[in-house]
Amino acid sequence: MDKKVLLTGFDPFGGEQINPALEAVKRLNCKKTSNVKLVAYEIPTVFAKSIQHVISAIEQEQPDVVICIGQAGGRTQITPERIAINLDDARIPDNDQQQPIDEPVVQSGPAAYFSTLPIKKMVEAMRVAGIPSAVSNTAGTFVCNHLFYGLMHYLHYHSPHVRGGFIHIPYLPEQTLNSTSPSLSLDLIVKGLEIAAITAANAEVDIKAGGGELH
């Protein structure tokens, strides 16, 4: 039976004209392998709205796996996230000029949720294909973590059969022309995310391997 993976990517934020997450998922929308179909949705970089948009996409698409994707400027690798924490602590405003400080994502929610994706197997598969990848142990405290936590909270209570998680990706080269920040080409990011999504769809059990280099 075919499996469906829902991919989401944020719109540009923080004064950027482009968001690599959105550009990558647009390329993967409607892509199909022998047994996995990918569908992609654009998500606003706005705290509460981001969760609402993803829930709506889940209810419409009824996926087997949900992978939300965001930009992490300064990282050199594609980084599946291990954990989402119940905290908003925004360094900058979101795209609706909201800037929550030291607030929970969900009142009275648990302190954290772990990804239910096979994150180490995803990293291994990307590395085998020559794509820089590592497990990350922090999704930050901005909208990316907010969405990751909100996704896992929703799945836990409403769709426990659906697996979900978050992946951070580096800047694109055109975003770093006037800085020394690292970047990764869109082609490599797209290839890595496709491998990660297919691996997540087909591997329900993760491997035991050293990982978690990023904190």
- The set of catalytic residues is 81, 144, 168
Q: How far apart are CA 179 and CA 31, in angstroms?
A: 34
Helix then strand then coil, in percent of the chain rounded to 5, is 35, 20, 45
Q: How far apart are CA 50 and CA 53, in angstroms?
A: 5
State the Cα angle at 22 between 143 and 173, rounded to 5°.
100
Q: How far apart are CA 190 and CA 10, in angstroms?
A: 15
Q: How far apart are CA 165 and CA 203, in angstroms?
A: 14
CA atoms within 13 A on the CB side of 23: 20
Which residue reads 């995310």 in tokens? Answer: 193
User: Measured between alpha carbons, how far is residue 151 from residues 65, 76, 102 in Å?
Assistant: 11, 25, 20
